[in-house]
Amino acid sequence: MSEPRTTLLYLIRHGEAEHHVQERVGGWSDLGLTERGRCQAHALGLHLAEELGGAPCRLACSDLGRAVQTAEAIGQVLSLAPQPMRALREHSFGIVDGMSTVEAARHYIEPTKPLANWAAYPGAETWREVHLRVIPCVEQLLQGEGPMLVVTHKIPIHLTLCWWLGLPLESEPSVWFDVDVASVSRLREEEWGAHTVLCVNDTAHLRDVQ
């Protein structure tokens, strides 16, 4: 029988990306980090290296460029090769991925109930669909040994936090966690199976990033 163990899960949002400054929809578009985003990613790596103190850990990321670039910057500091995973991608906004926010607004579909099944744009994923690809991936990653660093996006982090707290899928669109770029949310799975939230949306490491 395996020994009970405590598992740390770090949910890390990628740094500032080009679509943020260009006022475009992110989703599955593959624009990379801005120069500021690269500085944020490096600051993340330094902060995590200090916090982890050389403890063996693992690093996975979304396969979209902005998450991969963030994970690579962290991995360079921690001497880790990130594992890109499609399941950790951002919520797809369908035909408006990569569009300007002004143009995307023309394609917006008014909310329908239940909200978990609502697609906000033609071809977009519902929150239920995102949940059903992200959460099994996170559960699989938690099976390994040592702290698990996951570099992903706003909606996957939000949905993971809701799942961690045991909120039903139907409530997830009506609850909102503010998750800034290059932030860290720390979770801990206790030996007896309880889910602890240590912090959400920590950005203290960015205070010196201009």
List the domains of the chain with CATH numbers: 7-206 (3.40.50.1240)
Asked if residue 72 has pLDDT above 50, the reply is yes
Q: What is the pLDDT of residue 63?
A: 98
How confident is residue 5, by pLDDT bands cut at 50, 70 and 90?
low
Residue 178 has pLDDT above 60, yes or no: yes
Confidence of residue 1 (pLDDT cuts 50, 70, 90): very low
Percentage of the chain lying above the pLDDT 90 cut = 88
pLDDT over 60 (residue 183): yes
Query: How many angstroms separate the CA atoms of 186 and 201, rounded?
Result: 9
Q: Which residues contact 204 (CB under 8 A, 6 or more apart)?
A: 47
Q: What is the pLDDT of residue 193?
A: 87
